[in-house]
């Protein structure tokens, strides 16, 4: 692998590789409607972007949903998973950058707050072997924004969690997780607003971003 590339790149999934945010919003709205509860306002919905499954479940319980955390997660996940295979909407530039990084030998991990089974539905839409490992919600005891998911991703890739590793995320929850794990964070705003304070590097899109560009960002952060 070239010295002018990141040691590894660890990717978020929802909103970063695929545009699943509308599916999550629809499933969450359906849950509230199921029990005749008021819908969340835009700010509350935005706060759910990138949140962990059980953190999300607690918010719905406080809103009055009379289900256990496990039941809430199952309801929402089923609503998304039932639509996902037929509604894979790739984010601009993500598939192209994944392909280039894989081709030049940069180890790649998929690190998501979604369950592993849902992550597999997305991975099946990519060339075999794109990701060396997957870390899903069921692989950790603490989801993003805790650093555990990204630390586990680095461990499974066999790399040290340093600033030479790049985390690509679309939410403040995920960016905080990557930063706490000691990695360089790249924010791609989508389902939630981000500012320069949220990430080491903030890009409007991955369209046109090349593997060497990520190395340049790592060097700029390390300087």
Q: Cα(64)–Cα(39) distance, rounded to whole angstroms? A: 11
Catalytic residue (one of 12, 19, 139, 170): 12
202 DSSP β-pair partners:
187
User: How would you classify residue 166: left for phi > 0, otherwise alpha for psi between -120 and 50, otherwise beta?
Assistant: beta
SS (H, E, C) 114-148: CCHHHHHHHHCCCCCCCCCEEECHHHCCCCCCCCH
Contact 204, 49 (CB under 8 A): no
To 5 degrees, how large is the angle CA 137–CA 165–CA 160?
A: 85
19 in active site:
no
Catalytic residue (one of 14, 19, 198, 200): 14
Q: Helix 211-222 vs helix 94-103: angle between axes, to the nearest 10 degrees?
A: 90
Q: What are phi and psi of 201, to 5 degrees?
A: -135, 130
14 in active site:
yes
Q: Cα(32)–Cα(149) distance, rounded to whole angstroms? A: 29
Full DSSP string of 78-102: HHHHTTGGG---BPTTHHHHHHHHH
Residues annotated as catalytic (active site), given as ranges: 12, 14
């Amino acid at each position: 692998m070239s010295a002018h590339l990141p040691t590894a790149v660890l990717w978020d999934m929802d909103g970063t590789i695929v545009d699943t945010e509308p599916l999550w919003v629809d499933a969450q709205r359906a849950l509230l409607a199921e029990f005749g509860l008021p819908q969340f306002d835009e700010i509350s919905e935005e706060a759910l972007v990138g949140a962990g499954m059980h953190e999300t479940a607690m918010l719905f319980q406080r809103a009055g949903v009379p289900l256990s955390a496990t039941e809430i997660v199952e309801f929402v996940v089923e609503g998304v998973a039932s639509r996902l295979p037929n509604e894979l909407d790739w984010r601009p530039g993500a598939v192209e950058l994944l392909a280039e990084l894989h081709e030049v030998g940069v180890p790649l991990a998929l690190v998501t707050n979604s369950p592993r089974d849902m992550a597999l539905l997305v991975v099946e839409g990519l060339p075999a072997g794109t990701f060396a490992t997957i870390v899903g919600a069921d692989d950790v005891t603490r989801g993003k924004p805790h650093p555990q998911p990204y630390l586990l991703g680095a461990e499974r890739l066999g790399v040290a969690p340093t600033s030479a590793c790049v985390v690509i995320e679309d939410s403040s929850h995920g960016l905080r997780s990557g930063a706490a794990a000691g990695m360089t964070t790249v924010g791609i705003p989508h389902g939630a607003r981000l500012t320069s304070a949220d990430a080491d590097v903030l890009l409007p899109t991955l369209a046109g971003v090349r593997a060497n560009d990520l190395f340049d960002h790592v060097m700029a952060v390390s300087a």
